[in-house]
Amino acid sequence: MRFFSTTSMRPLALAAAVVVATAGAASAAEITGAGSTFVYPILSQWSADYHAKTGDKLNYQSIGSGGGIAQIKAATVAFGASDKPLPSDELAAAGLAQFPIVIGGVVPVFNLESVQPGQLKVTGPLLADIFLGKVTKWNDPAIVKLNAGLKLPDAQITVVHRSDGSGTTFNWVNYLSKVSPEWKTKVGEGTSVSWPVGIGGKGNEGVAGYVRQIKNSIGYVEYAYVKQNKMDYAQVQNHSGNFILPSAESFQAAAATADWKNARDFNLVITDAPGATAYPIAASVFVMMYKQPKDAAVSKAALLFFKWALETGQAQAVALDYVALPPELVKQIQVYWKQTISVTL
Amino acid sequence: MTDSINRPTFTLQHRAPSRWLSDTSADRVFQLLAGSAGYLVLGVLLAAALSMAWGGRHAFATFGWHFFTSTDWDAVNKKFGAVVPIYGTVVSSTIAIAIAVPISLGVAIFLTEIAPRWLRAPVSTAIELLAAIPSIIYGMWGLFVFVPFMSEHIQPWLIAHLGPIPGLGRLFQGAPIGIGMLTAGIILAIMIIPFITAVMRDVFLAVPSGLKDGCLAMGSTTWEVIRNVVLPYTRSAVIGAIFLGLGRALGETMAVTFVLGNAHELKLSLLEPGNSIAATLANEFTEADSDMYLSSLIALGFVLFLVTLVTLAIAKLLLLTVQQREAKGR
């Protein structure tokens, strides 16, 4: 100690201390990502736990799936997250790899004073007619026929949709296109569509806000937002004809019946799943990363984060009402990483 | 040295040559700096306009004049038209100006002519604080406080009493959801009142008291002084203040996107939702997933630029005709 207390050694000791301190800080990587608002609740939960465990930080901007796709193509972030999978030729042209990270559901929410959560029953074609503007009142015969025991008001339905481009929208209109030929020809599917009626909220939060605010309105949000904001949701009739409540079990049933093995680059949309207890509007969130990343260190940190999330983070996902990926799918994803992403874990 | 009648004269030879040179070069440098600052502003304006026109060339080339006449906004089929956002921008700003100008005039006149002197400072401070509130706070207050108020009290009254009137009633149709063109116009009015009031108040205070005293001495009332002395004297500044407010209202983004409804539909009724150019850009720019979409959005930005330019040009023309009328004498 007397060696370090001499005047000439103090600057050296100080320099050594600074080097040690900054070396500790430099090993903590910052992983940047952007995209889907759907996955934001679970990503922020995972990033907090991962940071406590390893010190690596995740900086995720929930700007919408379209934004995530644009940002990863521009290589401004380490990974992009999107509810809409990209086809393999688009991925190959951009040099991207794609894999699912979490599964959830899109739920129709409404604001009706006289109806409790989970009581209202709707079918796919009815939802399409409401969003097309063909069914305009809550006491329309089509709705009353399905909900004989409920008191529905003689009020106009205010439709709430997304004002920004969104993978949530993509899954919603993909489902409507599957169940309503009129929707398919008139509006089509995409992250941003030409809505025939309704007002637009920005993000899942915006739609949830508007539906909570405006009486006799109907909208669609991710299930996590439904639980967190305690909103009124409806039962939807699935492909087999059963009315299904949105829940982790019904999403899992939809994910289980999906054919992942034959989906190249996991390009599969799991709406209108065939199972008897499957929820019809289930959605997967896909992560896109570069096959040959410019910054290998950050990509490696990102892949380690996703590895941790897929292996140990599934319990937190379930707690936030997402669906854990089936174990075979997790194995399939890890094989895919070895084959396509040139980063050694 | 003296001249013929013994007045001392200063000739150039009395100055040291180095000072003479540094004076002119200093002048020249100052001219250069000031001139380049002015040209820089002009250059930046031109560069912004050109870059937006260049970004939107794809959309203009594909749609041509249809871009300004079509109400489509279809990202799936890649058909875009600017009518709905332009209409929303113009109508919400018009409502804002229609509400804000009388109120601002009233506040400014009250502060400068009618209020007791001790009241001037607190009210002025309050108005300046209103101007300092960020626009997103206005949007949030609008959505959580004002929209329910509109949907529960104001809009049902308007629909019931003004809706049935033939002609005018068509402006007040629709479900009372609180969100719509009228709500956006009112929030914009609240936002631009501080700007217009501040300029008007400063300019009213600058009217020479001799002019006002002369008018009062001839037996006019306070209102006649205001109408015949204060307002004519400050006319150009007042119009300038109004167009300052209008410029803010045209470009306002966050407050409008919260309460306008973001619906790409052209509706006559003030109680229906619509869309504005700034709100469309804010909502859709980050995830425009095709080149045509992006180009259409940039073209929309260029249109906003043009709309603002046209309103300023109208303001200048108005001022010019007023000044010409004044010069010719009434």
Which of chain A's residues have a Cβ under 8 Å away from the Cβ of B72? 194
CA angle A180, A166, A244 (to 5 degrees): 50
- Predicted local confidence at residue A268, as pLDDT: 86
Name the range with the highest mean pLDDT among A220-224, B37-41, B117-121: B37-41
Q: Say how far apart CA A337 and CA A108 lie, in whole Å.
A: 35
Chain A window 206-235: which residues touch B at a Cβ cutoff of 8 Å?
209-210, 213-217
- Predicted local confidence at residue A111, as pLDDT: 93
By percentage, how much of chain A surpasses pLDDT 90?
Answer: 42
Quote the distance between the C-alpha of residue B47 and its chain's center: 22
Torsion sign over Cα B95, B99, B102, B108: negative
Chain B interface residues facing chain A, Cβ-Cβ under 8 Å? 72-77, 143-144, 147-148, 151, 175, 177-179, 257, 261-265, 273, 279, 283-284, 286-289, 293
CB A96 within 8 A of CB A70: no
CA angle B226, B239, B319 (to 5 degrees): 105
Mean pLDDT score across all residues of chain A: 86
Q: Say how far apart CA B8 and CA A250 lie, in whole Å.
A: 106
Name the range with the highest mean pLDDT among A323-332, B97-106, B163-172, B304-313: B97-106
Which of chain B's residues have a Cβ under 8 Å away from the Cβ of A69? 287, 289
| pLDDT confidence band for A192 (50 / 70 / 90) | confident
Q: Say how far apart CA B214 and CA B217 lie, in whole Å.
A: 5
CB contact under 8 A, A165 and B289: yes
Two tokens at B312?
């300023």
Distances from the Cα of B188 to the Cαs of A98, A137, A256, B99, in angstroms?
A: 44, 32, 51, 9
DSSP string, A52-65: HHH--EEEEE---H
Q: Say how far apart CA A137 and CA A159 lie, in whole Å.
A: 11
Within B78-218, strands assigned E span 79-80
Two tokens at B162?
């003004």
d(CA A295, nearest CA chain B) in Å: 24
pLDDT tens for each residue of A51-110 = 999 888 899 998 878 788 888 999 999 999 988 899 899 999 999 999 999 888 899 999
Two tokens at B30?
């100052």
Q: Say how far apart CA A206 and CA A43 lie, in whole Å.
A: 19
Neighbours of A164 (CB within 10 A): 26
| pLDDT confidence band for A25 (50 / 70 / 90) | very low
Q: Is the pLDDT of residue A11 over 70?
A: no
Contacts of residue B144, defined as CB under 8 A and 6 or more positions apart, other chains included, come to: A213
d(CA B86, nearest CA chain A) in Å: 17
Q: Is the pLDDT of residue A209 over 80?
A: yes
End-to-end CA, chain B: 57
Contacts of residue B53, defined as CB under 8 A and 6 or more positions apart, other chains included, come to: B302
pLDDT tens for each residue of B124-161 = 999 989 889 999 999 999 999 999 999 999 999 999 99
- Predicted local confidence at residue A2, as pLDDT: 53
Residue with tokens 């305009």: A136
Contacts of residue B89, defined as CB under 8 A and 6 or more positions apart, other chains included, come to: B250, B276, B277, B278, B304, B307
Give me the interface pTM, i.e. the ipTM: 0.77
Query: At B20, which amino acid appears?
Result: W
- Predicted local confidence at residue B14, as pLDDT: 62
Q: Say how far apart CA A316 and CA A142 lie, in whole Å.
A: 40
- Predicted local confidence at residue A24, as pLDDT: 46
CB A158 within 8 A of CB A199: yes
CA angle B80, A158, A226 (to 5 degrees): 100
CB B222 within 8 A of CB B114: yes
Q: Say how far apart CA A46 and CA A81 lie, in whole Å.
A: 15
Q: Say how far apart CA A343 and CA A334 lie, in whole Å.
A: 12
Which of chain B's residues have a Cβ under 8 Å away from the Cβ of A160? none
| Mean per-residue pLDDT, A25-45 | 82
Q: Say how far apart CA A257 and CA A329 lie, in whole Å.
A: 12
Q: Is the pLDDT of residue A340 over 70?
A: yes
Return the closest-CA partner of residue A120 out of A226, A235, A223.
Answer: A235
CB contact under 8 A, B175 and A156: yes
The 3-state DSSP class for residue A238 equals: coil
| pLDDT confidence band for A219 (50 / 70 / 90) | very high
Rounded to two decimals, what is the model's pTM? 0.80
Beta strand pairing call for A30-35 and B79-80? unpaired
Q: How many CB pairs under 8 A join A and B?
A: 98
Mean pLDDT score across all residues of chain B: 88
pLDDT tens for each residue of B272-294 = 999 999 999 998 887 777 889 99
Q: Is the pLDDT of residue A344 over 90?
A: no
